[in-house]
Amino acid sequence: MNPREQKIWYLFPRQYVAAMSSITLVELKAKYKINGVKVDKTYNIVANIRPSAYYPTGKSIVLCKLCDDMIYNPDTGEWVYFSDIEEARDLLLRCVKASCTTASFGCCSKYEECSNKGQCVHENPFYSLGCVYRSRLESGSIFYGENCNI
């Protein structure tokens, strides 16, 4: 991994890093302008997901763009400076949620453990983005376990 790929790698929370084999930057020929300023170099930020029971052959997901010293989501127009670690992390995670096309499912066998912890505990965060119960937990609705509030 080159230094920029490593820096992006370290922006991801631990559970995402465990599910990924690498981050790759793929240089693009297309020229971008962000806020009217021409960008010199643009790359796709690609997350390469490890093969697992959930992704038997692995998977690559184009998350967003790296434009000079900015992380940019062309779908929403959002951008942040690469050096602003917290903002960059937040934007990358929003891009993961928007880019991951896992089929939705009600919940997995860990629903009670998730309920007790108040958050998803699934070992593959990319796969768990398809969990409908996860979205309920994130909105504060807990259906099972010791923290049940519905």
- How confident is the model at residue 54, as a pLDDT? 85
- How confident is the model at residue 149, as a pLDDT? 87
Stretches in the chain below the pLDDT threshold 50: none
Q: In the chain, helix, strand, coil percent, each to 5?
A: 30, 25, 40
- How confident is the model at residue 45, as a pLDDT? 96
Q: What is the pTM of this model?
A: 0.84
Name 37's Cβ contacts closer than 8 Å, sequence gap at least 6.
none
For residue 149, give the 3-state DSSP assignment: coil
Tokens 């995402």, located at residue: 16
- How confident is the model at residue 100, as a pLDDT? 82
Per-residue pLDDT reduced to its tens digit, 4-43: 899 999 999 888 999 999 999 999 998 888 888 888 899 9
Contact predicate 83/7, CB 8 Å: no
